[in-house]
Structure 1
């Protein structure tokens, strides 16, 4: 089974994190987001991975190379953002038999992907509370009879999980016309398959579509929770590591530091002295957490730095972000309502009672800055010393 992994999206909903790094390459625990998808496909028995890439394709190629997890890797370039079927069509020349399609910004359980491969033609499905926000499957006698995009009156609570196993003939059905949204939709190809075959559905107990910044936090919460304690870095004898904490070789944890797992401190990172890390926290390669800093349930990307006497909670910091000494992040509304965040110009609920800030690559705060809950700092944005920031910038 060939596995086509879609990794060409621009990730506009997860901005500013994807301003200069493809969304599928954003960090989730010990690897990029799309690498978890590729791992699930490899573990499920894929004999080739075909990565469909777009802008910043070199970042994906440099990470995966010609082989990943013992499986050969090839690449296809989607030149325009014209829908999922258009993305798969970019890989058409590589497809020579039955094939699977997986979204490179989704997290799947390998067991569910293996079931998808085995039962093909098939579609991955997940039960959701609000099916009208998704493509919804109609089923009968264990097979899929129809799929409707975001219906007002959903026939079931089975949502499309963005995972498909197609027969070889579907390669010739990729040249579908545009949908009402003006895009080439993979669900239109699926409709043809449903007409020709009995299509089963592989129900997924655990699944996540990582489209917005707080979902990157959720992805890290999932994958960091799977870690087992492994301490290979330089940890001071007076540091206190509690639970499942991973300190990679080349990382440094200084005296007085307390780390409550699950947490991952990557190679080249430094923590402390007297810092406190708790919750599901990723400290990326070369990242720095200074003296008496508290970091809770956050993602610090490669090269990010949080100066001494600072607090960062439920936040995502992009690459080479620098928070000056005394920077404090608010992550809770006084009215105890869910924190809102700006996505593509609209202020929407994150569904999270606690959510801090999202800082794009190379954003910088002056000392003693105060950042409001649900705040977005664009790539390269700055704050003044002592500034109270309540609006996106």
Structure 2
């Protein structure tokens, strides 16, 4: 099955992590987010991949080249963001004749479900959620999709559209649809026409995750790190204690007195300790530093991030080259134990997580003994003063 992977979005809901780095390339268990989408497609039987890219085109090309896991790769560039139907129209120009699959490049799918989707086309991946109003909702009758409604106030069902499709070849002729109220050409409008002219099967996905906001990047790492098998290749001091599914890559260093409880991945060039404590589903990216007596719990540290000695980081995401001064402490729990909220596009939104810390864009620097409140986000390049307490997010227009 030839497969389009949509990876041209700007990722505005993922800011500040995407202020200086493309969303498809954000790290999940040591690979770019979009690589997991591509890997699931290949395992499901994709015969060819076409990445539809935008401003991040060169970063994606450099990572994937002309072949991925034995499958040929091509690219199509969407210069102007005009919606998902327009992205598919651009990508379809690179395809051969015949049916084709479309996957959102910021979603995680289980390969077995995608294989079922590929086999039963025309088809749409479906998933049942508690709050369907936030998604495109499918109207399904006896397993057949009859309509899709975008973010309805009164959903026709709890079954949502997962951004995974198999279209018949004829759908290419319907991609030049009229713009929506947002000025974008929506793929759901094309799906609606396919539903009217073909039998479209709703294929239930066993596992699926839309990675659109920072806390969902944590969830993605929890999923994929949980699939990693223990592997110790780097330099580990004899007094270190590595428990469970821990991966220490070649070139990484784990010093004396360190305790790491898996699932955890310590990538090439990372250094941990001495006497540090790493636990939960934690990714320590390339060239990261976790200093003396630091505790890191269920977090993502991207390339070059440093957490100085005597600091605590919990349920947080630190962008590239972030530097936490000694004694920096992250709060990750509200006193009333309600879900932590986080700012997304200027609005406070519930993360749905009882524990959630901070989100730091690239190059954030904190002074010694900084305290960061639960749900705070710091824009790329933001700084704090020694002993500063930050209770409100620092954003950019």
- TM-score over 0.5 for the alignment? yes
Indicate the residue corresponding to 1:4 in structure 2.
Answer: 4
**Deviation of the 1:56 alpha carbon:** 2.3
* Distance (whole Å) between structure 1 residues aligned to residue 45 and residue 207 of structure 2: 19
Contact preservation (8 Å) 1:147, 1:191: yes
Matched, 1:42 2:38: no
Counting only pairs closer than 5 Å after superposition, residues 79-118 of structure 1 correspond to structure 2 as 79-96=79-96, 97-118=98-119
* Distance (whole Å) between structure 1 residues aligned to residue 213 and residue 141 of structure 2: 33
**Deviation of the 1:368 alpha carbon:** 1.1
Indicate the residue corresponding to 1:189 in structure 2.
Answer: 190
Equivalent pairs, count: 393
Matched, 1:327 2:331: no
**Deviation of the 1:237 alpha carbon:** 0.6
Indicate the residue corresponding to 1:347 in structure 2.
Answer: 348
Indicate the residue corresponding to 2:71 in structure 1.
Answer: 71
**Deviation of the 1:180 alpha carbon:** 2.9
**Deviation of the 1:348 alpha carbon:** 1.4
Which string of whole-angstrom CA distances, capped at 9 and with x for unpartnered residues, describes residues 344-365 of structure 1?
Answer: 0111111111111100001001
**Deviation of the 1:92 alpha carbon:** 2.5
**Range with greater deviation from structure 2 (353-362 or 189-198):** 189-198
Indicate the residue corresponding to 1:59 in structure 2.
Answer: 59
Runs of 4+ in 1 over 3 A off after TM superposition: none
**Range with greater deviation from structure 2 (359-368 or 173-182):** 173-182
* Distance (whole Å) between structure 1 residues aligned to residue 266 and residue 160 of structure 2: 35
Structure 1: give runs of 5+ residues left out of the alignment. Answer: none
* Distance (whole Å) between structure 1 residues aligned to residue 29 and residue 40 of structure 2: 15
* Distance (whole Å) between structure 2 residues aligned to residue 61 and residue 93 of structure 1: 18
Q: Helix, strand or coil for the counterpart of 1:82?
A: coil
Q: Helix, strand or coil for the counterpart of 1:102?
A: strand
Which string of whole-angstrom CA distances, capped at 9 and with x for unpartnered residues, describes residues 314-341 of structure 1?
Answer: 0000001010111111111112111111
* Distance (whole Å) between structure 1 residues aligned to residue 132 and residue 12 of structure 2: 23
* Distance (whole Å) between structure 1 residues aligned to residue 141 and residue 391 of structure 2: 51
**Deviation of the 1:172 alpha carbon:** 1.6
* Distance (whole Å) between structure 1 residues aligned to residue 276 and residue 377 of structure 2: 25
Indicate the residue corresponding to 1:15 in structure 2.
Answer: 15
**Deviation of the 1:79 alpha carbon:** 1.0
**Deviation of the 1:249 alpha carbon:** 0.8
* Distance (whole Å) between structure 2 residues aligned to residue 154 and residue 346 of structure 1: 24
Matched, 1:310 2:311: yes
Structure 2: give runs of 5+ residues left out of the alignment. Answer: none
* Distance (whole Å) between structure 1 residues aligned to residue 349 and residue 142 of structure 2: 39
* Distance (whole Å) between structure 2 residues aligned to residue 257 and residue 34 of structure 1: 32
* Distance (whole Å) between structure 2 residues aligned to residue 114 and residue 141 of structure 1: 21
Q: Helix, strand or coil for the counterpart of 1:120?
A: coil
Q: Helix, strand or coil for the counterpart of 2:93?
A: helix
Matched, 1:234 2:235: yes
Indicate the residue corresponding to 1:202 in structure 2.
Answer: 203
Which string of whole-angstrom CA distances, capped at 9 and with x for unpartnered residues, describes residues 98-123 of structure 1?
Answer: 11100000000011111111100000
Counting only pairs closer than 5 Å after superposition, residues 122-271 of structure 1 correspond to structure 2 as 122-271=123-272
Q: Helix, strand or coil for the counterpart of 1:249?
A: coil
Relative to the length of structure 1, the TM-score reads 0.99
**Deviation of the 1:134 alpha carbon:** 1.2
* Distance (whole Å) between structure 2 residues aligned to residue 28 and residue 161 of structure 1: 19
**Deviation of the 1:182 alpha carbon:** 2.1
**Range with greater deviation from structure 2 (37-46 or 144-153):** 144-153
Contact preservation (8 Å) 1:8, 1:22: no
Indicate the residue corresponding to 2:293 in structure 1.
Answer: 292
**Deviation of the 1:173 alpha carbon:** 1.3
**Deviation of the 1:9 alpha carbon:** 0.5
**Deviation of the 1:181 alpha carbon:** 2.8
* Distance (whole Å) between structure 2 residues aligned to residue 187 and residue 336 of structure 1: 38
